[in-house]
Amino acid sequence: MSEAVISAFNWVPDFAKGLVRDLRIRWACEEIGKSYTTHLLNAREPRDEEYRKWQPFGQVPAFEENGLRLFESGAILLYLGDEDERLLPGDAEARWAATSWLIAGLNSIEPLAQRAVTYDVFHADKDWSKDARASIDELIRSRLAGLSEALDDKEWLAGSFSVADIVMVTVLRILRHCDLLDEYPNLAAYKARGEARPAFQRALAAQLADFEDQPTTPA
Amino acid sequence: MSEAVISAFNWVPDFAKGLVRDLRIRWACEEIGKSYTTHLLNAREPRDEEYRKWQPFGQVPAFEENGLRLFESGAILLYLGDEDERLLPGDAEARWAATSWLIAGLNSIEPLAQRAVTYDVFHADKDWSKDARASIDELIRSRLAGLSEALDDKEWLAGSFSVADIVMVTVLRILRHCDLLDEYPNLAAYKARGEARPAFQRALAAQLADFEDQPTTPA
């Protein structure tokens, strides 16, 4: 057994700190007490060819354990869940509900949350960004309303805590720059419940520490 | 064993015909000779509460088999792959490579392809859409270049044909309104290779037939 390796950045712009997706894998590892080391990359420099063989788009996280290499946070979480029922229940109904919600987070909610932050923050100074943002307003609210209704008063999305919640809580965190979540009190409480888990806190501290260790030279 | 059920639409606007994501599940079923029936919905009417309990956002596809309900095309494909090695190899290395690529298709490429078609087609008449489209041009090209380099001269993304290819081929089809794919000849050939499979052809014909069966009343 070789120790797990997670790729991450040693520098990102301030608005991305605490949001980079290696957080999801650190969180999952903390939930099950799996130790890992990090393979740190400089976000300001192009990734080399060797890393692109591991992660074809040069993104983080990528993951390696016992010679097995994976990329994409969703795939790595499914792999970790396959190994440990604390992350993905063995019971078929709960397992496939959690898988459905994990994919929903990645494909039906994250792309819209990402567009919101792109328009609101990244392109805030462009004259087209307000119209572009307005064009997704109805859709993003309809997705959050659907999520809110499905979550209802449940603690987690698919029975016990699972990788689906790791995805969805970190996806909802992308909206921290705006007050959209205030309109869905059960979603705000759900996000806070995820963030209050000791494993999340340790994962977040570890991600931020990897930024702190680096000299803060300008981009 | 109850027959599998896939939800789909009986009407969509012309630009969406052949792209709606139930195609992915029909394709997977055709690859392994699994029979299914469809639960057809009218895309012009709001989905009722009963359907929203099955698919929380009112989207298609949702899936049911033997009392097990799933939603999100990616999750349904993983479920079908779990049942049949022709869709997801049992060997760990190939299995997790395919899972990584399936998620990459859904989370790193589809959201950008979807934005391209949204700006280019859906909002083509808006004065902000050209700038919004230009803002993703570099990123979408970089992702396609990464995919093209990783695919290289391979037939499929992760060894033998898998659910990763069902996702990626259908994601690349989203770009049919523009000529972006012409710049990556191996991706264009890969997409054509997927579309040439008899199972894809049967799945596409079945989706289109479900539109044909309906009266073409105006929206």
Domains and CATH numbers, chain B: 4-86+199-210 (3.40.30.10), 92-196 (1.20.1050.10)
User: Which among A57, A93, A127 has CB closest to B108?
Assistant: A57
* A68 contacts B92? CB cut-off 8 A: yes
| pLDDT above 90 (res A44) | no
Output DSSP code: residue A62: E
Query: Which tens digits make up the pLDDT trace of B179-214?
Result: 999 999 999 999 999 999 999 999 999 999 999 766
**Shortest alpha-carbon distance between residue B17 and chain A (Å):** 20
Residue B213 C-alpha, separation from nearest chain A C-alpha, in angstroms: 29
CB nearest to A72's CB, from B78, B79, B104: B104
- Which chain A residues touch B107 with a CB distance below 8 Å? 72-74, 106-107, 110-111
User: Which CA distances in Å does B7 have to A144, A146, B10, B76?
Assistant: 22, 18, 10, 12
ipTM score above 0.90: yes
A72 at B interface, C-beta within 8 A: yes
Closest by CA position to B98, among listed B39, B163, B23: B163
| Distance in angstroms (rounded) separating the CA atoms of residues A25 and B145 | 26
Is the CB of A87 inside 8 Å of chain B's CB atoms?
no
Q: In terms of C-beta density within 10 A (0-12 exposed, 13-18 middle, 19 or more buried), how is residue B122 classed?
A: middle
Other beta carbons less than 10 A from residue B120's beta carbon: 16
| Cα–Cα distance for residue pair B43/B50, rounded to 1 Å | 16
By percentage, how much of chain B surpasses pLDDT 90?
Answer: 92
Give the up-direction half-sphere exposure of residue A210: CA atoms within 13 A in the CB hemisphere: 25
Q: What is the mean pLDDT of chain A?
A: 95
User: Which amino acid, A149?
Assistant: E
For residue A126, is pLDDT > 70?
yes
pLDDT given for residue B219 in this prediction: 44
**E strand segments, chain A:** 4-11, 36-42, 62-65, 68-71
Please answer yes or no on whether A135 and B126 come within 8 Å at the CB atom: yes
**Percentage of residues of chain A with pLDDT beyond 70:** 96
The token pair at B3 is 């027959």
Ranking A7-16, A23-32, A104-113, A194-203 by mean pLDDT, the lowest is A7-16
Q: Which residue of B51, B54, B76, B99 to mutate against A (max A Cβ within 10 Å)?
A: B99
